Amino acid sequence: MNATKILGTGSYVPDNIVHNKTFEKMVETSDEWIQTRTGIKSRHITLEENTSDLAYEAAKKAMASAKTNASEIDLIIVATVTGDYFFPGVAQLLQRRLKCRNIPAFDINAACTGFVYALEIADKMMKNDGYKKALIIGAETLSKFTDFEDRNTCVLFADAAGAMILGRSEQPGIEDVILHSEGDLEGLLRMESYPLKKDFKTIENKRPFISMNGRDVFRFATTVLPSVIRELLEKTHSTIEDLDLIIAHQANKRIIDKAARSLEFPRERMYLNIESFGNTSAASVPLAIDEAIKSGRLKKGMRFACAAFGAGLTWGGAIIQY
Ligand code: UT7
């Protein structure tokens, strides 16, 4: 069998915890509204560490859990929309800090679905091109681009990193990955870039921020989350009963509850950690996978689905045997 298997995982969040009450002093909101409408109680927001710092800490933990040295890693993919720089990528900053050799290393942007895209790219590069050990990461410092005067977004987004070491195996691992994108919906969720200069030289004082039509993204997410799981089940010739756990992007507890109802999947087998982390975009799925493993919810031999959705609008999922 030519399979790609999870060899180890790690995650990292900044120390600084921000509770819902803090936002009551900043915008017109309440702890009660945030908890009932999103499921979030607190989140981690960075004060000093940048995306590559979070990614580095998560990577070190994943490498330790996979008993993998930097010299063995032959591919690095980082899913992020909040890199330290536009260029170089977080992948190169990591490559330098981890002291990895000359290998392919690159960032990808598929927003909150980024980690699932990274999983597909790594799986196919390993299967087709012979890479042996890949480090894939979802890492974000969304707080850099959050408008803390916009109650529609500021209570949701947060900072984190999740990392995974993938290796070649004779045992079953990643069974299938499905990716989607619908560009017609790109206006629903955006992080602005810097504006074009009017006369090529004037410096504009405008900070880029996240903007979102939450209601429409919510509706979209409640449709595509169950649909991509169904697609995966069909492609892998399995049924929902064959899944031990579903680890979905942690964007809103109500989206996860609705998906469980739609799939007729036991709610307690839908992993949930949004309460303590908020929406950490590309970091959300690998952070949840790492937590599920460390807490014993995801055990060796179990079969689980992960799925994500986000700006683009993009969505996708994977079925993996751990
Ligand atoms: O990871 C990328 C994908 N992103 C998502 O999946 C986010 C998906 N969307 C959501 O999770 C939800 O739509 C939100 C949590 C963003 C909003 O919840 P909602 O129940 O869909 O609220 P809504 O947008 O329908 O707004 C209802 C009301 C509005 O007030 P009016 O117009 O009815 O007077 C909002 O202005 O809630 C208001 N509102 C707030 N009120 C208190 C919006 N944000 C807040 C807030 N505190 N933080």
Residues 58 and 117 in one domain: yes
Q: Which atom belonging to ligand 1 lies closest to the Cα atom of 279?
A: 1
Residues 94 and 32 in one domain: yes
Tell me the β-bridge partners of 162.
Answer: 11, 138
Ligand 1 contact, 152 CB (< 6 A)? yes
Tell me the β-bridge partners of 247.
Answer: 306
Share of the chain above pLDDT 70, in %: 100
Residues 273 and 288 in one domain: yes
Query: Per the structure, how many domains does the chain have?
Result: 2
Pairing of strands 133-141, 42-44: unpaired
Ligand 1 contact, 215 CB (< 6 A)? yes
Site to probe by mutation for ligand 1, drawn from 31, 34, 215, 216 as the one with most ligand atoms within 8 Å of Cβ, is: 215
Domain housing 278: 176-321
Choice among 115-119, 120-124, 192-196, 316-320 with the minimum mean pLDDT: 192-196
Ligand 1 contact, 112 CB (< 6 A)? yes
Ligand 1 contact, 118 CB (< 6 A)? no
Residues 268 and 206 in one domain: yes
Nearest CA to ligand 1 atom 22: 215
Ligand 1 contact, 153 CB (< 6 A)? no
* For residue 255, pLDDT beyond 90: yes
pLDDT tens string 256-277: 999 999 999 999 999 999 999 9
Pick 112 or 196 by higher pLDDT: 112
Q: Which of these, 122, 130, 141, 120, lies nearest to 50 by C-alpha position?
A: 141
Choice among 2-16, 104-118, 184-198, 296-310 with the minimum mean pLDDT: 184-198
For the chain, what's the residue count?
A: 322
Per residue, what are the HEC states of the chain?
CCEEEEEEEEEECCCCEEEHHHHHCCCCCCHHHHHHHHCCCEEECCCCCCHHHHHHHHHHHHHHHCCCCHHHCCEEEEECCCCCCCCCCHHHHHHHHHCCCCCCEEEECCHHHHHHHHHHHHHHHHHHHCCCEEEEEEEEEHHHHCCCCCHHHHCCECEEEEEEEEEEECCCCEEEEEEEECHHHHHHEEECCCCCCCCCCCCCCCCCCEEECHHHHHHHHHHHHHHHHHHHHHHCCCCHHHCCEEEECCCCHHHHHHHHHHHCCCHHHECCCHHHHCECHHHHHHHHHHHHHHCCCCCCCCEEEEEEEECCCEEEEEEEEC
pLDDT tens string 187-226: 999 998 888 888 887 777 778 899 999 999 999 999 999 9
Residues 195 and 208 in one domain: yes
Residues 262 and 311 in one domain: yes
Mean pLDDT of 232-251: 98
Ligand 1 centroid distance, CA of 157 (Å): 13
Ligand 1 contact, 247 CB (< 6 A)? no
Residues 28 and 48 in one domain: yes
Domain end (from 171, 188, 221):
171
pLDDT given for residue 226 in this prediction: 98
Domain end (from 119, 137, 171):
171
Residues 209 and 189 in one domain: yes
Residues 12 and 155 in one domain: yes
Ligand 1 centroid distance, CA of 178 (Å): 29
pLDDT tens string 41-86: 999 999 999 999 999 999 999 999 999 999 999 999 999 999 999 9
116: domain CATH number is: 3.40.47.10
Q: Give the pLDDT band (50/70/90) at residue 21.
A: very high
* For residue 25, pLDDT beyond 90: yes
The per-residue pLDDT of the chain, averaged, comes to 96
Which residues are catalytically annotated?
Answer: 112, 249, 279
Domain end (from 117, 139, 171):
171
Residues 40 and 155 in one domain: yes
Is the pTM higher than 0.85? The answer reads: yes
Q: How far apart, in whole angstroms, are the C-alpha atoms of residue 249 and residue 163?
A: 15
End-to-end CA distance of the chain: 15
Ligand 1 centroid distance, CA of 156 (Å): 10
CA angle 21, 220, 321 (to 5 degrees): 90
pLDDT given for residue 190 in this prediction: 96
Q: How far apart, in whole angstroms, are the C-alpha atoms of residue 99 and residue 152?
A: 41
Residues 32 and 106 in one domain: yes
Residues 217 and 277 in one domain: yes
